[in-house]
Chain A
Amino acid sequence: MTRILSVHSFRGGTGKSNLSANLAAAFAARGLRVGVFDTDLASPGIHVLCGFTAGPDSHTLNDHLQGSIPIEECSHDVTPSALGGGRGRIYLVPAAMDGDRIARLLREGYEVERLNDALFSLGQSQRLDLLIVDTHPGINEETLLSTAISDCLVMVMRPDQQDYLGTAVAIEVAQRLMVPEARLVVNKLPAHFDAEQVRARVAQSYGIPVGAILPLSDDLLTIASGSLALVDVPSHPWSAGVTQLAADLADALL
């Protein structure tokens, strides 16, 4: 059965989409079949990291949620050629990127029930081992749903006070929804912070396992802002941290 992993943050700008895309690459490198849903419908972005450019006939998640296109036709194989030799695959379900479609979705909404059905349907039809849900930041109907159906919630935060407070709220919600597994990821840790001190502090504050402490990296912004760091610079400390996190999650979930 497909395991669902939601990558969530209380506030925007935590690097959630970057982590989602690179986790997908790390799982695919381990030979897993992975789906990635971009449910950040108001501000989609993960397609850029996955190297996906929509053609005139390319379907997106919006076409399923607000139309009648089967979810399978909205999923696109974006497996990087560097990972293409093995069993591992990445299927991206992107959100619509043009302004009119985004505005229509925000104006008209959709039945959140359809998102739930789409996740389980794609997992089954594509025989996915894992499905990563890249969520919209904050708490709304969609993020509550993706949290509730998750086998594991990965909460991403930056080491700042607003994120500390907001993350506590999101974790309390996840606990009320009885998510079986959770990991906390501190991303964009400035170089002058002591990683072990931060790890100890967040572990004590939230009472859930710390999955990774990932460094803030100016060079990554240059090298891999529009691509997958795990593919472009696999030995970079950020990439190595994500690879380690993927190994931990695979052990816990599969």
Chain B
Amino acid sequence: MRSSEPLALPDGPLSMGRLLALEPAALRQLLTMGLRAGLAEPELDACCAAAAPLLGHSPEQLRAGLQERGWLRWDPGRQRWRTRLGSERPPAPPQA
């Protein structure tokens, strides 16, 4: 499923209060797993595949939306995707 509509998620930093209010449950599960040990690449793929259709988007769109909001980041030390609380949007890449 793929929608051209923007992802129906709030903008701005992620807080625990915001995470608690998110739907569907599969999205809360993804972000909660990211808070705990973090997600390996196949785990993130599986979680996005479970949650994205319920939001009317593709897994790739969901993943990109979470990264754009700064809610999900790659932790090079742990080699896992981690949920990030209180983050601002990541800086835009330098313009060529």
Chain A residues in the interface with B (C-beta under 8 A): 1, 111-113, 116, 120, 141, 144-145, 148-149, 173, 176-178
Contacts and interface: CB of A to CB of B under 8 A. Distances in A.
B80 to A, nearest CB: 11
B15 interface: yes
B85 A112 contact: yes
Contacts of A113: 84-87
Contacts of A149: 32, 35-36
A177 B17 contact: no
A160 B89 CA distance: 46
Interface of B: 15-17, 19-20, 25, 28-29, 32, 35-37, 84-87
12 contacts: A111-B85, A112-B86, A113-B85, A116-B85, A144-B17, A144-B19, A145-B35, A148-B16, A149-B36, A176-B20, A178-B28, A178-B32
Nearest to A1: B37
Contact of B32 (A111, A112, A173, A177): A177
Contacts of B37: 1, 120
Given A116-B35, A177-B28, A178-B28, A144 B86 contact: no
B78 to A, nearest CB: 9
B72 to A, nearest CB: 13
A2 to B, nearest CB: 10
Given A173-B20, A176-B25, A177-B28, 14 more contacts: A112-B16, A116-B85, A141-B15, A141-B17, A144-B16, A145-B85, A148-B16, A148-B35, A148-B36, A149-B32, A149-B35, A177-B19, A177-B20, A178-B32
The 10 closest A-B CB pairs, nearest first, are A144-B16, A113-B85, A141-B16, A149-B36, A148-B32, A145-B16, A149-B35, A148-B35, A111-B86, A113-B86
Contacts of B86: 111-113
A44 B28 CA distance: 31
Contacts of A120: 37
A148 B32 CA distance: 6
Nearest to A124: B78
A148 B29 contact: no
A203 B28 CA distance: 27
Nearest to B84: A113
Contacts of B85: 111-113, 116, 145
A176 to B, nearest CB: 6
Contacts of B25: 176, 178
Contacts of A112: 15-16, 85-86
Given A111-B86, A112-B86, A116-B85, A144 B20 contact: yes
A218 to B, nearest CB: 39
Contacts of A145: 16, 35, 85
Nearest to A150: B36
Contact of B19 (A1, A111, A116, A148): A148
B66 to A, nearest CB: 16
A111 B87 CA distance: 10
Contacts of A1: 37
B29 A178 contact: yes
Nearest to B38: A120
